[in-house]
Amino acid sequence: MAFVTLKDIGSDFHRLERFDGGDFVRWQKKMHFLLVTVKVYYVIVNPRPLKPGENEEKSVAKSRERLRWDQDDEICRGHILNGMSNTLFDAYHTVKTAKELWNQLERRYITEDATSKRFIVSKFFYYKMVDGRSVMEQFNEIKSILDRYSQHKLALDEFIVVTSIVDGRSPLSWKNFRNSLKHRKEDINLDELGTHLRIEVRKEENYKQKEAQSSIKCSLAI
């Protein structure tokens, strides 16, 4: 059985990417998991216990419960703030409770994430691979954009993605390559497309290398 130690928890917080205003939903999920792990997330969803009444026995228990909640709220608020960039820390460190801080971040950045979704959709559909740049570098840029689709829970059929890249995004000089893929009987996925691209890149590099060697031989013969 595996046990989670304070050292492990501290290491997880250290590895958490600091929130700088982008990809809020992903950061929030990671932060939620860590706050649950250290058992302080409850202060965000549960209100602060009421002040104890007159009954002495119940009063002591209520006072302890209230004190524990206050301590956990400060720990929770501190973890959230420490998971933010210095700029955002300075902007939010005066917020008094973890719940208020959590809600303020949600109100602001979930709205911005919605705008970000529209930007990502446009970025893919208007992306055009060009000659003169590494094809694999551009392909990896497209994959990076599609990874952000997943982060925002945006669904895009893989067949449409591959067809879109082959038809409208591969370089103009790769006309023969596009035609060969378009006339395949079997559909290919994104990873298989990447494999075909790497093979085509190697073919092109080998061709250029042979051309260069041939040119050298011709010059030496002269």
pTM comes to 0.50
102-143 pLDDT, tens digit each: 999 988 887 666 656 666 777 777 777 777 777 788 888 888
pLDDT bin (cut points 50, 70, 90) of residue 4 is: very low
- Minimum mean pLDDT range among 42-51, 76-85, 199-208: 199-208
Tokens at residue 7, please?
Answer: 């050292």
pLDDT at 171: 61
pLDDT bin (cut points 50, 70, 90) of residue 43 is: very high
- Minimum mean pLDDT range among 37-41, 91-95, 158-162: 158-162
Say which residue, 163 or 117, is predicted with more confidence.
Answer: 163
Measure the CA dihedral 167/172/176/180, to 10°.
-20
Rank 87-91, 141-145, 218-222 by mean pLDDT and report only the highest. 87-91
- Minimum mean pLDDT range among 85-89, 114-118, 133-137, 188-192: 114-118
Say which residue, 59 or 68, is predicted with more confidence.
Answer: 68
